[in-house]
Amino acid sequence: MTFGCKCRRTETSSCFLLNPKEGTSSRAANGFHYPERRKGLWFRLRKILLYVLGLYIAIPFLIKVFPGIQAKLIFLNFVRVPYFIDLKKPQDQGLNHTCNYYLHPEEDITIGVWHTVPTVWWKTAQGKDQMWYEDALASSHPIILYLHGNAGTRGGDHRVELYKVLSSLGYHVVSFDYRGWGDSIGTPSERGMTYDALHVFDWIKARSGDNPVYIWGHSLGTGVATNLVRRLCERETPPDALILESPFTNIREEAKSHPFSVIYRYFPGFDWFFLDPITSSGIKFANDENVKHISCSLLILHAEDDPVVPFQLGRKLYNIAAPSQSFRDFKVQFIPFHSDLGYRHKYIYKSPELPRILREFLGNSEPEHQH
């Protein structure tokens, strides 16, 4: 029996071994071309990698040859978020005590403006026209001119939420879209953005009487804000205080620190390819230089977990401003927000401490001999 069993196993094995082509044909028929399949996958993968590598190398040269690309990436004015909102109707965003205006800083330039009155006037403001809103600026409530950052419009969600917070604290809030943003007409530039801000500031001052006017800049808007305030101080008409939320030192350092630059940060000639085109486009936003020529109280707010403008740039700007001679008679304050709070780049408005911070800082923004 033992011998018979062995013969059957051998016979079975022999049958298999005597028909190797049949087994191969069966596997081929089922699509098991392992070497060919691996070769095809590797060819396609290599092709994709070559395309990616070629694009990676080409982008720096494109930016160098066409510096306007870099300018568009800085302004991002073509990114309109949220979409499909009617900027003529701020009430659609929950701002029922807000009026939409259009101002004309220069010929062929039109900028859209929102004016939100203090919340205590919510009922009174219903159905009122632009003239009523303009006259309201002369009331006993202070005014904040808000300068937003890149991308989006004056109707951006986080911006609207900040207007609501400031309005609830008793401030008028005047915000606007720079030329080229939202429904404002014109081509973006640092000079143009600064001139738009100057025009709106002068428009406010012509109607606000002796009411305090504060300037609040966020992100890229901090560059516009320091440009504006430096110019105002040089002509001896400074604002009552300057607030910088998530500021940087200058646009070159911000561009180098931005998360989008990570994949190129160690690329040979990074400064020449990416940063020099920014300068050649006339874009500087030199906060670090401007603060040396500003004479009014300065408050800097920055979240430690800011992924867009690194926290250390805000701290560095404060360290430049605090010892400056121009601030010797004014308050200079830096307020950090711990990373555990999750305020990141644009959610400081959520802080329950913000009303107290503003009340303590703006409650007395007159000159005083301390930092």
What is the average pLDDT score of the chain? 88
What token pair was written down for 24? Answer: 């191969």
pLDDT of residue 275: 87
Decide if 361 contacts 368 (C-beta within 8 A).
no
Phi, psi of 236 (to 5 degrees): 65, 35
Instruction: Check whether 354 has a pLDDT greater than 70.
Output: yes
H or E element in which residue 145 lies: strand 143-147
Portion of the chain with pLDDT greater than 70, in percent: 88
Instruction: Check whether 222 has a pLDDT greater than 60.
Output: yes
pLDDT of residue 15: 42
Decide if 264 contacts 274 (C-beta within 8 A).
yes
Q: Regarding beta strands 111-116 and 332-337, do their DSSP bridges make them parallel or antiparallel, or are they unpaired? A: unpaired
pLDDT of residue 30: 53
Q: How far is CA 33 from CA 25, 26, 27, 29, in A?
A: 11, 11, 8, 9
This prediction has a pTM of 0.84
Mean pLDDT score, 108-117: 98
Mean pLDDT score, 22-29: 50
- Give every CB contact of residue 24 below 8 A, 6+ residues apart in sequence: none
Q: Which residue has the higher pLDDT, 33 or 76?
A: 76
Q: Which residue has the tokens 């121009």?
A: 326
Q: Which of 193, 310, 198, 290 is nearest to 247 (CA)?
A: 310
pLDDT of residue 286: 98
How long is the chain?
371
Span of 25-29, 133-137, 162-166 with lowest mean pLDDT: 25-29
Distance CA 223, CA 217 (A): 8
Specify whether the backbone of 96 is left (phi greater than 0), alpha (psi in -120 to 50) or beta: alpha
Mean pLDDT score, 209-234: 98
Is it true that the peptide bond before 82 is cis, omega within 30 degrees of 0?
yes
Instruction: Check whether 3 has a pLDDT greater than 50.
Output: no
**Which class would CATH give 75-255+282-362?**
alpha beta
H or E element in which residue 27 lies: helix 20-29
Q: Edge-to-edge strand order for the sheet containing 241-245?
A: 98-103, 111-116, 172-176, 143-147, 213-218, 241-245, 297-303, 332-337
pLDDT of residue 33: 57
Instruction: Check whether 25 has a pLDDT greater than 70.
Output: no
Instruction: Check whether 245 has a pLDDT greater than 70.
Output: yes
Q: What are the pLDDT digits (tens) for 42-81?
A: 878 888 888 888 887 888 788 888 878 888 889 999 998 8
Q: Regarding beta strands 172-176 and 297-303, do their DSSP bridges make them parallel or antiparallel, or are they unpaired? A: unpaired
Span of 69-78, 269-278, 333-342 with lowest mean pLDDT: 269-278
Residues with a known catalytic role: 219, 306, 345
Q: Which of 335, 340, 342, 327 is nearest to 356 (CA)?
A: 335
Return the sign of the alpha-carbon dihedral for residues 291, 292, 295, 300. Answer: positive
Instruction: Check whether 10 has a pLDDT greater than 60.
Output: no
pLDDT of residue 46: 82
Q: Start-end ranges of CATH 3.40.50.1820 in the chain?
A: 75-255+282-362
Q: Which residue has the higher pLDDT, 263 or 356?
A: 356
Distance CA 225, CA 144 (A): 12
Q: What are the pLDDT digits (tens) for 79-103?
A: 988 888 999 999 999 999 999 999 9
Distance CA 42, CA 112 (A): 55
pLDDT of residue 34: 61
Q: What are the pLDDT digits (tens) for 149-202?
A: 999 999 999 999 999 999 999 999 999 999 999 999 999 999 999 999 999 999
